[in-house]
Structure 1
Amino acid sequence: VSLSICDGLRGYIRKHDQRYLIEPLEHSDQGEHAIFKYEHKIQDISNGSCVVYNFSKREAITQGSRSSLSFPKLYFQYRRHNHLQKWLRTRIFGMVNFVNMLYKTLNIQVILVGLEMWTNGDKIEVNSNLGTTLLYFGGWQETTLKKRKNFDHAQLLSGNWLSQTAQGTAYPWGMCVPYHSSSIVKDHLHDTNMVADKMAHELAHSLGMQHDTYPCACTYGRCVMDGGGSIPSQGFSKCNRNQYRQYLLDYKPMCILNVPLSKDIITFPKCGNQILEVGEECDCGSLEDCTNVCCEANKCILKPGSACGGGECCEACKIKKAGILCRTAKDECDLPELCDGFSPKCPVDRFRVNGFPCQNSEGYCFMGKCPTRDSQCSEMFKDEAKGSHDICYERNKGGHKFGYCKKVDKRFIPCDDKDLKCGKIYCTGGQYFPSYGEDKTYHLKVPEQNITVECKAFFPFQYTEDLGMVASGTKCGDGKVSLKVKGIQSSLRVRKICFWNFLLYFYFMYQFFPHRTPLDSGHFYWLSPCSYNSLSPHLYSLSSWYLKEILQCHLQQETFSNPVATFNWLFHSDFIYTLLIHSCLCE
């Protein structure tokens, strides 16, 4: 059963092999509804065809392991101008409900976090060429929409265009990939569940699933990735499940693992959908599905005596004590998080200060990652691609789209000698070529080594940011990183400024003063004198790891003549209540 209760009952009911559609009668003031029996010849949907634009040559294999619960967060753009917005919202909510029902069979919760209706003209060029429209839409949602809202995948729905027979299109394996985590679906059917079926189909392509062909058998009446049909799907084939598991192993789409905040969910709150929404203390699903001993399933409230109903810092219906590890560091640019003793949720993910050396000094930490030319080339051209020889960067003196540092009034400005590695990136290896742009390969001789090297560059099509430039935060010289500001590629010297002050590493300040406002993007915190005494009791429970983390920058720069004495001073000094720490800010 998949039902929406907004302005009447709308949805889909299955009993054994027979399926029914229920919806309110139009122009009825008595709350009357109609129930239709689904028949295979009800509607012509052009065989349910879709167009898939490959941007990878990798083939999925059919082995893998079971995945954990994931939460793709969808954002919809809707261009159907001849209907009231309230009616459209209700229609969209019903379709998302149906999509979510299908994906629950894969242990996936599909959550709607945004809905935009284009009532004053299109935001992009829209025409009957699906590939062109998808390209423009992918660029627009990446460069414009994501500045307003955080989401994982965007779908464009339209009811008055697309002259070709295809019902939609998507990039395969595109989830979480910049410019590719998007799809298009044609909405020209009265039956919302059939449109939702196409939405689920295109989303599945983004999650690595392919069309069902022989010998992939569907154990249901119809599966999501079937090529056609005029009745809604009931689930995914075994082949689709294996393809999805392999996709998770190969591509590791981290964005779908983040649970959205309840305030970001725009659908109407519904107790029993396993999504914690505004007004709910917990939500463990239906009475039949709920296994949470802390939660009243039918009311979505905590049981008497329970302080929490879930979360990394909730155990046996009680909030864990402060200082217990709730999230380990993912890599050398990340930091572990501890429970704060007040919230059942693990604190917001924090990371090392920008400029901290990583990857054996091949790069610097930047916004929680360690960007390097090798990793950027591998992401762009896949397989064994890596950064190419230094001689390739001489091409950045050319001042053209495959070799430049910045673009001013459609003119490509060449790089200065000191910034050659901070402009266009050059790679070698890899068999994949991005579909959203053009590439060019140079073969240059290195006389000193008597070798010829490959220098592969990339330039995107219209409406997309130039991902072929050295990414922001990437090391492009000794003590130098690339920085893109308002479309201009430049370099920035990594400077270490150490100063005495009442400055405390924000990471563990966040644990004890979460209500205060952080500085420096959440990395450091100015400590006011009135906070000393309230902080001091917690200092004795801090592990030596935290103090080592605070001193790490100084120890590497040898700013202390005697690190051991300094470490002991932090524990035994009479100034423990003022905690005067010599801290280092990397800019």
Structure 2
Amino acid sequence: FAVMGTRLFSILYVAGQTPPEGFRYVSYEVTIPKKLTPRYGQEESKGISYLLHIEGKGHMFHLRQKKAFVPKHFPVFTYNKVGELQVDYPFIKDDCFYHGFVQGQLSSQVTLSICSGGLRGVFGFDNMTYEIEPVQASASFQHIVYRLEEKEGAVRMRCGVTKEEERRQEILLQNTEKVVVKRNSQNVWWAHVRYAKVAIVVDNERFVRFDSNETVVTLHVLDIFHTAISFYDALSVQLFLVGLEIWSERNLINTATTQGAVLWDFGEWRRRSLLTRLQNDAAHLFLYKDRPPVLGIAYLETICSTHYAVGVNYFTSDNLYYFSITFAHELGHNLGMAHDQRYCRCDRATCIMARYQDITDQFSNCSYRDYFKFRNHQCLLIPPGEVLHRFTYCGNKVVEDGEQCDCGKEDECESDPCCQSNCVLRPGATCAFGSCCRNCQYVPARSICRRNVSICDLPEYCHGSSEWCPEDVYVQDGAPCRDGAYCYQGNCTTHDRQCKIIFGSQATVASEDCFRIMNARGDRFGNCGLKHGVYSKCTTSNILCGRIQCSDVDDLPMLEDHSTMIQTQAGDIECWGLDYHSGMEIPDYGAVRDGTPCGTDMMCIGGKCLHVSLLNYDCNVTKCHNRGVCNTYKHCHCDYGWAPPDCLKEGYGGSSDSGPALQYRSAVVISLFLWQISISILRRFLSPSALGRFLTIFFFLNIFLLGKMKKKRGGIFLLQVKWENNKMIG
């Protein structure tokens, strides 16, 4: 055992793993995780499972992917030798991070990544916490598993937010404006998901300690952030890493001074520099110090602040879990959490917001209380967008001012036929992107670029002089469509159609009794909307505009998380509907859609049954001369055969907003081409008289069908067809 222990300690040393100050490794062993696959014939699971032998026992780990905590184009800022800022967008695998649990272990928690070819991360059960990482260059998938424990009598490190620091911050921040959404803001107080968009900055000492390897630093930060996410999931706070900056040449602030001064200087640097190019709700600095004065320090209750939403975190070792707790702790201060008092409790011996750090993975009841008082700050309500950085840079695959195109890095541009690495079009190219660009050239005018998706939608066509498809427009709200319904925002919808979309083609709208029973309840299962956190009962006149009620439901659909099917009885009729939790960031499919008819010349809008005259539909038969419809801007979209703006003159249809419409001559040419082929074939099998009879029937059928498309322009069209026909037959 002594030999094995020495070997394992040497492996840990080579891997850079040393226990944090005041802790020791009490268990360390080499194990080979076994990935489990479904038995033959069983359905493939959405997650993955591993069997691990730890301290003499086998444990089953069940894992599911944790995705979307970094943007698709993740910016990593560094500096070159002369100190110039540069940015790269490395490919970040978002399908290799997992959260899960250990089978049969209550309160177990697993946070692992498989991005580097093995399992790396932390897991805990039975009040014990382990870390796991792959053995480098192992041919048999070996992993090190080790367990941390506090040394007896050790002096634990503490957070820098002391009572004195709190008083200093209180004076400093007393005039700071705190943007908080009031409780009665609709759909805010009751929405339980919050979003914290965080930027991370790594100092030069930490970068050098990782052999000045940007990739290794990035992966290490991702592992830390991913672990912290698992702590915040219980609070329904979604952490999002918006970007990373590495001080690759030198530190941009003085890090050798007191922790309070470092915190202040970092906040000033964030305001002057980082926020000008990277939006974030808070920024945290990761510093390396052999013997730091504290674990970290942060401003209290400052998330969303331009000046003070910052924290400083000191690395004392390379231990992933220990530092993840430090980061989660200091970010907790930004989110309003004070240090735990004696009466604060969680399911562990200590909790994340304890003054002196310990190994834990839970926030206390006091932290929950503090956070829930603070959670309505404006920035926390905004989900992360894809493009959060404002750093103009040729090569970021974003076309910005002064650029004709942007194909990315130089090696990526080598295979791009339209764009060069200097963000200029290649010689002979007129475009490089867009739905009206094909093979580096503008698509010819009158080519369709956006088809209509419903009878209340309208198609758009390329102009021939731009790569962009015209703005998406649709039939004017209030235009009659079908089944007594009216167009509304490009859709023609009815209760019956909505039931079929949710429950399948056999489903139908339920009787009015179902609507009356359910929508008069005024709860999440039946209501006419949510206002100030209270569900509104539907009045008799609005009863058809609350939650959708369906019958004839034979198959139950697969629904998104937190959606529930409701089945009730109205006499002999079964009523089916969906509930909706207002805190979920998913569409509410169970609410009656706006634009649904609720009576003669009536439609549902915002949970109320209103007269369609409120839409101010004014497209009478004279405006477009009965040869078209009005669009979103009340401009005529003409039928084929007539030209905008008023459909009086002959033309090819469309509107002043749609782009030049498609010419049907191409359809005629195709039809005649097929006709010519048919004649060539039939001449081999039919007598001249039989062929003549066939051609006569085919000719008049063709004229009838094409005349339907041409409508009023039939005279000119027939002459063209006759001339083409005589030429082909002759």
TM-score, with structure 1 as normaliser: 0.45
* Larger RCO: 1 or 2 (CA < 8 Å, sep 6+): 1
Structure with greater Cα Rg: 2
TM-score, with structure 2 as normaliser: 0.37
